[in-house]
Amino acid sequence: MTQPRFSQRELLAALAVVTIWGLNFVAMKFALRDFTPFQLGAARFAAAVLPLAFFIRPPRMHWKWVVLFGLFQGLGQFGFLFMALKVGMTAALASVLAQTQLFFTAIFSFVLLRERPTRALQVGLLLAALGLVCFAMNYAAPRPGGAHATTALGFVLSLGAAAMWAGSNIVARKAQQATPQFDALAFVVWSSLVPILPFIALTLVFDDGATRWAHLARWQAVPAGTWLAIAYLGWAATILGYGLWTNLLKRHPANRVAPFGLGVPVVGLAAGMLVLGETVTTWQWAGIALVIAALACVLFGGPSLNKKRA
């Protein structure tokens, strides 16, 4: 049975998602100039939830899945990511390191769900591990005059964000298995309510001068560009991006849609270097090449190995 081809409109939608999600990391950098990581977390999810919560009904599932997904994907993934970008990680490299969630998901699936990794995934894990070694070498053996925009702490926090993303993938899979009529959009929207209060609590406890936000003048002092960045994170990257991506997954198999995700780190790298003037060291380029090769191996290597066996 032949699978339907992507229409021109669907190809444009896929390219739009890749571009939106690639620029997502640049928008985070802009917003973090005026907000702390915890404040940005609360603002991002508030912007994403407020329009849709009035129109989309709560998902018909056990509340624990909604809470767990919100904690892993919202508080965990973006909490770590925003802190990484604040303490020492470029938007360019963050877009690449985020894709390691695929390999963390494979490890968690093996440990928690007893899912054996395929041969292509095993090769991809090896390439990704070598890529992470190259990234680590950038801090173990730094070159004089190299890039100073990244730190070892930012690197570790970025990996923590990817691991939390992987944890949310496991939760989503378990939720889907436990729910006969799983509504992905309602699940994402209502789980986005979960991290808002924890982010507010964290900013009150850890951020200096957090009480200043109780005054209207403090909100009015935030530049318009920062508000645009938050609107982009909440509405474009979340609502529009996930909406287009979900629509593609409804029309085509996941193994045909997923390869478009390889374009996200490419756009993120280009945007970080062109818009923010970020630089990449030799070790980091080697790590980027290995991680992208690992992703390509996982996404395209399965069919090739199956043909060789046949």
Tens of pLDDT along the chain (310 residues) come to 456 677 888 889 889 999 999 999 999 999 999 999 999 999 999 998 887 888 888 988 999 999 999 999 899 999 999 999 999 999 999 999 998 888 888 888 888 877 787 888 888 889 989 999 988 887 776 665 554 568 999 999 999 999 998 898 888 888 888 888 888 788 888 998 999 999 999 998 888 876 766 667 777 788 999 999 999 998 888 888 877 887 787 677 766 777 787 888 889 999 999 999 998 888 889 999 999 898 888 777 755 555 555 4
The whole model's pTM is what? 0.86
Which pLDDT score is estimated for 304?
53
C-alpha dist (Å) from residue 50 to 43, 54, 175, 243: 11, 7, 24, 16
Return the DSSP state at 180.
S
Count of residues for the chain? Answer: 310
Return the DSSP state at 78.
I
| CA dihedral angle for residue 170, residue 47, residue 225, residue 265, rounded to 10 degrees | 20
280 touches 288 (CB < 8 A): yes
CB atoms within 10 A of CB 26: 23
